[in-house]
Amino acid sequence: MEALIAANVFYEIAALLVIAAAVGLVGLLLRQPLIVSFIAVGVLTGPSVLGIAQSDQYIDLLAALGISVLLFMVGLKLDLSLVRSMGAVSLMTGLGQVAFTASFGFLICLALGLDPVTSIYVAVALTFSSTIIIVKLLSDKKEIDSLHGRVALGFLIVQDIVVVIAMIVLSALGVGADADAGLEEVLEVFGYGAGMLVAVGLFIRYVADPLTERLSRAPELLLSFSIGFAAFMAALGDFLGFGKELGGLLAGVALASTPFRDAIAARLAPLRDFLLLFFFIALGAALDLSLLGASVLPAVVLSLFVLIGNPLIVMIIMGLLGYAKRTGFLAGLTVAQISEFSLIFMAMGVTLGDVTNEALGLVTLVGLITIAASTYMITFSHTLYAWFAPFLGVFERREAHRDDAPSAHGRYDIVVFGVGRYGGAIAQRVRRAGWRVLGVDFNPQVVRAWREAGLDVIYGDATDPEFIADLPLTGARWAISAAPEHDTGVTHQETRAALISGLRARGFRGRIAVAVNREDGSEDLSIEGVDLTLRPFLDAADRAVEILLGAVEQEHVEPVETQSPQRELAS
What band does 307 get if pLDDT is binned at 50, 70 and 90?
very high
Q: Are residues 359 and 472 in the same domain?
A: no
What's the number of domains the chain is made of?
2
Angle at 423 between CA 535 and CA 471, to 5 degrees: 120
Q: Go through 191-230 and write b for each residue having 16 or more CB atoms within 10 A of its CB, e for each that does not.
A: ebbeebeeebeebbeeebbebbbebbeebeebbebbbebb
Q: Are residues 547 and 432 in the same domain?
A: yes
Q: Are residues 173 and 283 in the same domain?
A: yes
Q: Are residues 227 and 376 in the same domain?
A: yes
Q: What is the pLDDT of residue 6?
A: 60
Q: Are residues 441 and 342 in the same domain?
A: no
CB atoms within 10 A of CB 98: 25
Q: What is the pLDDT of residue 569?
A: 40
Is the pLDDT assigned to residue 67 strictly greater than 90? no
Q: Which range of residues forms the domain containing residue 558? A: 414-570
Can you tell me the mean pLDDT for 78-90? Answer: 59
Q: What is the pLDDT of residue 303?
A: 93
Strand-pairing partners, residue 416, are: 439, 480
CA pair distance 43, 280, nearest whole angstrom:
9
Q: Are residues 440 and 475 in the same domain?
A: yes
CATH of the domain at 439: 3.40.50.720
CA pair distance 305, 370, nearest whole angstrom:
10
Q: Which candidate, 511, 155, 192, places its Cα nearest to that of 333?
A: 155
Angle at 93 between CA 90 and CA 95, to 5 degrees: 100
Is the pLDDT assigned to residue 105 strictly greater than 70? yes
**475 close to 406: Cβ distance less than 8 angstroms:** yes
Average pLDDT, the chain: 78
Domain-embedded: residue 409? no
Q: Which of 487-496, 514-523, 560-569 has the lowest mean pLDDT?
A: 560-569
Domain-embedded: residue 22? yes
Domain-embedded: residue 400? no
Domain-embedded: residue 323? yes
Q: What is the pLDDT of residue 451?
A: 84
Q: Are residues 12 and 131 in the same domain?
A: yes
Element (H, E) at 13: helix 2-29
**301 close to 112: Cβ distance less than 8 angstroms:** yes
Using the 3D structure, point to which of 335, 365, 395 is the last residue of a domain. 395
CATH of the domain at 346: 1.20.1530.20
Using the 3D structure, point to which of 363, 395, 427 is the last residue of a domain. 395
Domain-embedded: residue 365? yes
Using the 3D structure, point to which of 338, 364, 395 is the last residue of a domain. 395
CB atoms within 10 A of CB 62: 18
Q: Are residues 117 and 43 in the same domain?
A: yes
Q: What is the pLDDT of residue 407?
A: 38
What band does 104 get if pLDDT is binned at 50, 70 and 90?
very high
Q: Pick the residue with more confidence: 133 or 172?
A: 133
Domain-embedded: residue 302? yes
DSSP string of 113-161, one letter each residue: T--HHHHHHHHHHTT---HHHHHHHHHHTT-TTSHHHHHHHHHHHHHHH
Q: Are residues 434 and 547 in the same domain?
A: yes
Domain-embedded: residue 245? yes
DSSP string of 412-468, one letter each residue: -SEEEE--SHHHHHHHHHHHHTT--EEEEES-HHHHHHHHHTT--EEE--TT-HHHH
Q: Are residues 166 and 206 in the same domain?
A: yes
Q: Is the pTM of this model over 0.85?
A: no
Q: Are residues 387 and 443 in the same domain?
A: no
Is the pLDDT assigned to residue 305 strictly greater than 90? yes
What band does 300 get if pLDDT is binned at 50, 70 and 90?
very high
What band does 564 get if pLDDT is binned at 50, 70 and 90?
very low
Can you tell me the mean pLDDT for 397-414? Answer: 56
Q: What is the pLDDT of residue 109?
A: 92
Q: Which of 204-208, 357-361, 547-551, 556-560 has the lowest mean pLDDT?
A: 556-560
CA pair distance 67, 71, nearest whole angstrom:
6
Q: What is the pLDDT of residue 558?
A: 55
Q: Are residues 379 and 432 in the same domain?
A: no
**457 close to 451: Cβ distance less than 8 angstroms:** yes
Element (H, E) at 480: strand 478-481
| Residue type at 425 in one-letter notation | A
Q: Which candidate, 59, 57, 70, 62, places its Cα nearest to that of 246?
A: 70
Distances (CA, A) of 155 to 61, 131, 382, 554: 32, 10, 21, 66
Is the pLDDT assigned to residue 58 strictly greater than 50? yes
What band does 403 get if pLDDT is binned at 50, 70 and 90?
very low
Query: pLDDT tens, 150-198?
Result: 778 777 777 877 777 777 677 666 544 554 555 666 677 677 777 888 8
Domain-embedded: residue 408? no
